[in-house]
Structure 1
Amino acid sequence: MQLVGMIEKSKEQKGSEQENEQMNNKMNELEMKVRSLEVEKELEKQGKMNALNERDRYIEERNQQQRDNQIALAERDRERIDKQKANSERDQEKRRADTEHAENVKLKQEKQKELQEKQKAQSEVTCLTTENQQLKSEISKLRPQITSPKEQLKPEPKLQQIQQSVPSSLSTITQQTIIPDPDHVIQQENKIIRTNKGLHSTVTFNPVITSGIVRFGGFFKDHPQYHFSIGISDSSAVFGSNEAPGDGVNGKKTVRYWKDGDLGQFGDYIKGNSRIEENKTVAMEVNMNIRPRTLTFFYDNQEQP
């Protein structure tokens, strides 16, 4: 009986140990599951945190993009306003320039008209003076003159004798410069200075020569154009802005000594005179005391043929 009791007790102990072992295994399994759940929960939590961070980053990027867009819009609006302002200022400047140009054109036209009227008046005065002199000459011819027989038989002097009776001294006069366009030519004391504006400029001088022997001259220096001339014109010639001395009807009213030595008036040019070099004196002399009246050119104090 005792042996049977010990065997049963041993079986009970084995059963208890097996139950304990099973219990321990279950506890271990539960602990493993708990740890696994905790890890999964931690991973899930970490994933949610990452998702939240990603969402916050996306929101921040979107907000930054909106701020950049607002800055770009503001910059574009500022550029548009600046451009409109610049266009407005440019339009105003253009209107001012157009107004100034129109005023300058009007002023030039008025000056040109005034100059033409002045030249026309001077021409009329010259014509009236000439007519007056002719009338005086005609009146003097009509007056009876008492002469002795010797004086009546005295022959008229020849042309050479008339030329010899003219005094050799030249008349001294004060000239007045007539400049058609002050933008093309300016005067500084006795210098006539050609600007870079315009193509041609014809400068004349008053008074109109009606009697005596008069010489006029000077020299060219640093002339901006390849061709230039010096000469005389009829008192009826009127020269406008940007006109050469031989343009239009003035070609028949002027005698021109050109740089290359050619003389121009009617038809073909007359050759034979010296070429005009800069800084060399060139002059012309008119003799109004004889008939036919004469015009003589001098270059470097040498009479030209």
Structure 2
Amino acid sequence: MGQVNVTCWRGFVFLGFTSFGELQLLLFALFLCLYLVTLTSNVFIIVIIRLDSPLHMPMYLFLSFLSFSESCYTLGIIPRMLSGLALGVQTISYMGCAAQMFFSGSWACANCFLLSVMGFDRYVAICTPLHYASRLNPTLCSQLVGISLSGYLFGLGMTLVIFCLSFCSSHEIQHFFCDTPPVLSLACGDTGLSELGILILSLLVLLVSFFIITISYAYILAAILRISSAEGRKKAFSTCASHLTVVVIHYGCASFMYLRPKASYSLEWDQLIAVTYTVVIPVLNSIIYSLGIGLCRQL
């Protein structure tokens, strides 16, 4: 098979779930319902936090931006996936594929950073409650959100690493969106350097943000253990439960998706993990966020 330089490349074809045959309509209905639940829940969370003055606190500000970021992430992937399920096979231009990879990577990175910011917020609230309002002032909160939304740098780096490669004549993506592993599998020649670049970018985002969360929760755990009453420990832990649950789900799935060499790529497993990450987990997160708001308002 010959090589086609990326400058002459016209586009890709998503095969997605074509192997499921008649089950595609069932998957379409299922994923559509889950997506609508996710989108509606996130919009509801954002509106409630905006309108309810008791929720005008840093932790809820970060939560509203996380809901917004997650909505943007799913918006760039799921509608196209649904149209692919309805139509069977779908094409995407070269620039369209690059744009989808850029935006999905950017918002995924923003989610990681926002989760670490929320971990820092919980640290300040539990370890230094008397200084919570002064330390997490509006200026600092805006700066933290701005830093989190700078995830576009990661998305840009990931996209440049992939789309500077030359691709073989095959243009069929065995996936439902332009994710890194399936697009990288179409590249010709030695992709070792590109894989290394992707690994470094992924490690920078995942490990730095996870390190911040780990340090924050180490201090939180120490502070909770110093609380004498069981009721006090339960109250302190309950304010972190929803965030901690989302962190475990998010980082576990993200690590499995991106921190792997090309040799371990498997179509079936990658599609399953991608569906879990893009469809199922956002639904779970929106439910966890909603429950977290209810629990925190009762405290």
Whether TM-score is above 0.5 comes out as: no
Query: Which structure carries more strand by proportion?
Result: 1
Query: Which structure carries more helix by proportion?
Result: 2
Q: TM-score w.r.t. structure 1 length?
A: 0.23
Q: TM-score w.r.t. structure 2 length?
A: 0.23
